[in-house]
Amino acid sequence: MYQVLYRKWRPQAFSDVVGQQHVTKTLANELNENRLSHAYLFTGSRGTGKTTCAKILSKAVNCLNPINGDPCNECEICKGIDSGSILDVIEIDAASNNGVDSIRDLRDEANFTPVSGRYRVYIIDEVHMLSISAFNALLKTLEEPPSHVIFILATTEVHKLPSTILSRCQRFDFKRITPDDIADRLIYISNEEGLELDREAAILIARIADGALRDALSILDQCTGKSKKIDVDTVSDCVGLANRKYVLELSKAIANEDCATALSTLDTLHNNSCDMERLCSELIEHFRNLMIIKTVKTYKNLIICTEAEINELTEISSCYKLENILYILSVFSSTLADLKKGQNRRVEMEMALVKLCSKKLDDSNSALLRRIAELEAKIVSGVTVQPSTEKAEQTKAPAKEKVEAREEKPEPKPQKTENTVADTGSDILFDKWPEVLRELNTLDQPLVGFLQESSAYVRGEYLLIHSQNPVFEQFITISSHYNALNEALLRTTGRKYRLGIYKAPQAEVKKQQDPLVDLAKKLNNI
């Protein structure tokens, strides 16, 4: 039966473990000097060698002929442990045996002396999954175990372990394996297996594996099913990566604000069954590299790429300012979170690209700060910033459509924006205003707070809002609140209105400004 590569090439000695010399050297020295601890804790990210080192240690403490701290792998004890015929080494999966009863059984068994070896070794994997009661049951035995028992605890989430457990173990932190070490190991295994693996393909696999050698071997195993000659394209096809050129095309389209090209490229990737979540992760990695290039002088040490790719990234980085890169990273990070819970992943990615290619569509604080930074940069460089033709027409439009005033001989007034319209006397009370406010409450609650005890009037194509709150007139000029009110009107009436501020007649204004008149009338009627 075929055995997968990560099982076939699992290290059998400390000297074979890749990238964890700070752990393996210490353990080998302890074995040589016979200074063994009764409890070890191996912690680190997945695929970094925790369980492998635990198995090597369990063989080394029982080996009949150890060699410089390593097991010989030739004696009957080593072979028996590998085959599972020796019962002195017990592996427990705490994810499925996390109850207090399982730990009580373990505690009772620990009192029995080993059958074949010198030590009974308990390897508890994913120990953070134990319940609180199970931890409490393990505590006393872990503190003062029998002299013939060694505990090895392994976990990826050490922060979930109680401090009482941590203080009783000798802790070893396994680091993420560097891409160069992973690539070297992959090339060595490929040569032994009769495969042809390019160095660039090995680096790409290492980058995808993110420090986990087991993941890297699983990807290599998958690639061998397609071809015995493995290059970058083979790896990309097997794991669903976007071709490098497509990532660069998307990056250039965002820099040029070319929404059509960005969406066309995304459509091509979608038709080629590219995973949107992985694509988003690749774009985050790409712009992370650009960020490093813009901020660090010795950026080559922090970027895992070939020399040709670094040159491409350096060229593209000149098209971006650091503020833009940070904003793009924040957008893609939010998109990645939405992709994990969204129904249509393609739409989520399209929304992100449209937002990045059309700056005026995003009214978030980070987008506004980015646009302000761009304006400041242009001003500093001496560039005169002119308003666009579209915005200029929008500014002039309200003046052309201004409604005539009520007075027969109106006095000349300053030019008003769309939010202020003169009174004509033909106002009709808008009776659906309470329904609009209820709908607006689902879209913009702060605006509803400013519209308490307000009313509205229809004057032609205008909807004039009468609010006693003096701050409302400034609040409605903010685009997000203005659009929310328009949306609420459209949902309630099915019609679009031009919004304005209701201006009360002069007599009514005077009446409101002199409340003593009403009081005097009430006194006269008593």
Instruction: Give whole-number Cα distances, 338 to 161, 242, 307, 502, in Å.
Output: 31, 20, 34, 42
pLDDT for residue 508 is more than 60: no
Band of residue 185 on the pLDDT scale cut at 50, 70, 90:
very high
User: What's the rounded mean pLDDT across residues 48-68?
Assistant: 90
For residue 100, which amino acid is it?
V
Instruction: Give whole-number Cα distances, 467 to 265, 458, 475, in Å.
Output: 49, 15, 12
Band of residue 363 on the pLDDT scale cut at 50, 70, 90:
low
CA dist 36 and 108 (Å) reads: 23
SS3 499: strand
Band of residue 173 on the pLDDT scale cut at 50, 70, 90:
very high
Q: Return phi, psi of residue 212, to 5°.
A: -105, 110
CA dist 217 and 200 (Å) reads: 16
Band of residue 373 on the pLDDT scale cut at 50, 70, 90:
low
pLDDT for residue 493 is more than 50: yes
Higher pLDDT: 164 or 494? It is: 164
SS3 378: helix
Higher pLDDT: 154 or 474? It is: 154
Task: Return the pLDDT at 342.
Answer: 73
pLDDT for residue 152 is more than 90: yes
Helix intervals (H) in 84-178: 100-109, 132-143, 163-166
Band of residue 346 on the pLDDT scale cut at 50, 70, 90:
confident
Task: Return the pLDDT at 378.
Answer: 63
User: What's the rounded mean pLDDT across residues 195-221?
Assistant: 88
For residue 301, which amino acid is it?
N
The pTM of this model reads 0.61
User: What's the rounded mean pLDDT across residues 502-526?
Assistant: 54
What domains does the chain contain, in order, with CATH numbers? 5-174 (3.40.50.300), 179-239 (1.10.8.60), 276-379 (1.20.272), 416-509 (3.30.300.180)
- What mean pLDDT, rounded, does the chain reach? 80
pLDDT for residue 399 is more than 50: no
Task: Return the pLDDT at 231.
Answer: 86
Task: Return the pLDDT at 387.
Answer: 52
CB atoms within 10 A of CB 362: 16
pLDDT for residue 80 is more than 50: yes
Please give the helix or strand (H or E) that residue 206 lies within, else none.
helix 199-209
User: What's the rounded mean pLDDT across residues 90-114?
Assistant: 85
User: What's the rounded mean pLDDT across residues 454-461?
Assistant: 84
CA dihedral over 513, 517, 519, 525, signed as positive or negative: negative
Q: pLDDT for 234-281, tens place per residue?
A: 887 787 666 778 888 898 889 888 888 989 999 888 888 788 888 898
User: What's the rounded mean pLDDT across residues 352-375?
Assistant: 71
Cα maximum dimension of the chain: 117
Q: Return phi, psi of residue 149, to 5°.
A: -120, 135
pLDDT for residue 506 is more than 60: no
pLDDT for residue 6 is more than 80: yes
Whether 499 and 467 have beta carbons less than 8 Å apart is answered as: no
Task: Return the pLDDT at 56.
Answer: 92
Q: What is the CA radius of gyration of the chain?
A: 35
Q: pLDDT for 402-443, tens place per residue?
A: 334 344 444 333 334 344 444 445 678 888 888 888 888 888
Task: Return the pLDDT at 415.
Answer: 37
pLDDT for residue 172 is more than 90: yes
Task: Return the pLDDT at 278.
Answer: 85
Whether 17 and 32 have beta carbons less than 8 Å apart is answered as: no
Task: Return the pLDDT at 174.
Answer: 92
User: What's the rounded mean pLDDT across residues 84-107?
Assistant: 85
Q: pLDDT for 274-322, tens place per residue?
A: 888 888 988 998 899 899 988 888 887 777 776 777 888 888 888 888 8
pLDDT for residue 340 is more than 50: yes
CA dist 189 and 437 (Å) reads: 68
Highest mean pLDDT among 92-106, 351-365, 419-433: 92-106
pLDDT for residue 52 is more than 80: yes
User: What's the rounded mean pLDDT across residues 112-130?
Assistant: 88
The answer for residues whose C-beta is within 8 angstroms of residue 268's C-beta and 6 or more apart is: 246
DSSP per residue, 52-97? HHHHHHHHHTT-SS-BTTB--S-SHHHHHHHHT--TTEEEEETTTS
Band of residue 171 on the pLDDT scale cut at 50, 70, 90:
very high
Token reading at 136: 């409490």
Q: Which of 140, 162, 180, 152 is nearest to 43 (CA)?
A: 152
